[in-house]
Amino acid sequence: MRTARRHEVNNKPQTTLGVLGWALLLNGALTSPAQALAEVSETDFFDDLPVVLSASRLSQPVNEAPAAVTVIDQDMIRASGFRDIPDLFRLVPGFTVAYTRDNTWGVGYHGLADAFSRRMQVLIDGRSVYTASFGEVPWASLPLSIEDIERIEVVRGPNSASYGSNAFFGIINIITKDAAQVPGSHLSVQAGDQGMGGTMFRYGDGKDDLRYRLTLSGQRRDRFDTRAEQTTTRHLDLRVDYRLSATDEITTTFALSRGDWRHGVVGESGDPVRRMDVGTEHFQAKFRRVIDPENEWFVQFYHTRLRNEDGFVVTGLAPIDMSYTQWREDIEFQMISSPSDQLRLVWGAEARWDGVKSPGYFYNQDARTGALYRLFGNAEWRLSPKWIVNAGALAEHHYLSGFDVSPRLAVNFLPHADHAFRASITQAYRSPTFFEEGGDQRIFTASGSLYRQYFEPSAGLQPERILSREIGYIGHVHPLRLQIDARLFNDKVSRLVGTYDDPLIPGKLFHFFNESRADINGADIQLRWALQNWLDLVLSYARVDIDSNDGDIAGSVPKNNFSALGILKLADGWQANVGAYRVGAMYWLGDGDVTKAFTRIDARLARRWKLQGNPVELALVGQNLGGERYEEFRDENLFDRRAYLSLMFDW
593, β-bridge pairs: none
H helix and E strand count, the chain: 6, 38
Interior/surface letters 349-385, b for 16+ CB within 10 angstroms, e for the rest: ebebbbbbbbebbbbebeebebebebebbbbbebeee
Domain encompassing residue 620: 49-650
CB atoms within 10 A of CB 270: 8
Question: What contacts 238, CB < 8 A, 6 or more positions away?
Answer: 212, 213, 214, 215, 253, 254, 255
DSSP state of 62: G
SS (H, E, C) 552-600: HHHCCCCCEEEEEEEEEECHHHEEEEEEEEEECCEECCCCCCEECCEEE
Distance from CA of residue 631 to its chain's centroid? 21
DSSP secondary structure code for residue 549 in this structure: S
Q: How far is CA 345 from CA 157, 247, 391, 619, in A?
A: 22, 20, 10, 46
Distance CA 554, CA 512 (A): 19
According to DSSP, residue 42 is labeled: H
| Count of CB atoms situated within 10 Å of the CB of 542 | 25
Beta strands 210-221 and 105-109: pairing type? unpaired
**CA–CA gap between residue 109 and residue 118 (Å, rounded):** 11
Amino acid at 247: T
Residue 235 covered by a domain: yes
Number of domains in the chain: 1
In a domain, 247, yes or no: yes
Coil, strand, or helix at residue 86? helix
pLDDT at position 500 is 79
State the CATH number of the domain containing residue 369. 2.40.170.20
H or E element that contains 23: helix 18-29
Residue 63 to residue 487: CA distance in whole angstroms = 12
- 11 inside domain: no
The type of residue at 212 is: Y
The amino acid sitting at 505 is I
Q: Are 241 and 180 in contact (CB under 8 A)?
A: yes
Alpha carbon 285 to its chain's center: 22
What is the Cα–Cα distance from 597 to 584, expressed in whole angstroms?
4
Residue 277, φ and ψ in degrees, nearest 5: -110, 105
Do the domain assignments include residue 27?
A: no
Residue 376 in contact with residue 404, Cβ under 8 Å?
Answer: no
Asked if the structure places residue 264 within a domain, the reply is yes
pLDDT means per 10 residues in the chain (651 residues)? 34 40 41 37 53 94 96 96 96 94 87 87 94 90 94 96 93 95 96 92 94 96 74 95 96 95 64 82 97 95 96 88 96 97 97 96 95 97 97 97 96 96 97 95 94 90 96 95 96 93 73 93 96 93 96 93 96 96 94 93 97 96 91 90 96 95
Contact indicator for 165, 401 with CB cutoff of 8 Å: yes
Residue-level pLDDT at 29: 40
Is 234 within a domain? Answer: yes
For residue 465, being part of any structural domain is answered with yes
**Cα distance between residue 93 and residue 412, in whole Å:** 22
C-alpha angle 452-455-459 in degrees, rounded to nearest 5: 145
CA separation for the pair 538, 26 (Å, rounded) = 24
Q: Which of 30, 68, 34 is nearest to 50 (CA)?
A: 68
**What's the pLDDT score for residue 198?**
95
Strand partners, 569: 575
Other CB atoms within 10 Å distance of the CB of residue 48: 15
Q: Which amino acid type is present at position 628?
A: E
Q: Is 234 exposed, middle or buried (0-12, 13-18, 19+ CB in 10 A)?
A: middle
Distances (CA, A) of 582 to 83, 97, 98, 597, 636: 20, 12, 13, 8, 20
Cα 395 from chain centre: 25
- Dist. CA 339–CA 259, nearest whole Å: 50
Phi and psi of 281, rounded to 5°?
-150, 155
Containing 387, the helix (H) or strand (E) segment is strand 387-398
Instruction: Tell me, yes or no, whether 2 lies in a domain.
Output: no
Q: Cα–Cα distance between 75 and 503 in angstroms, integer? A: 53
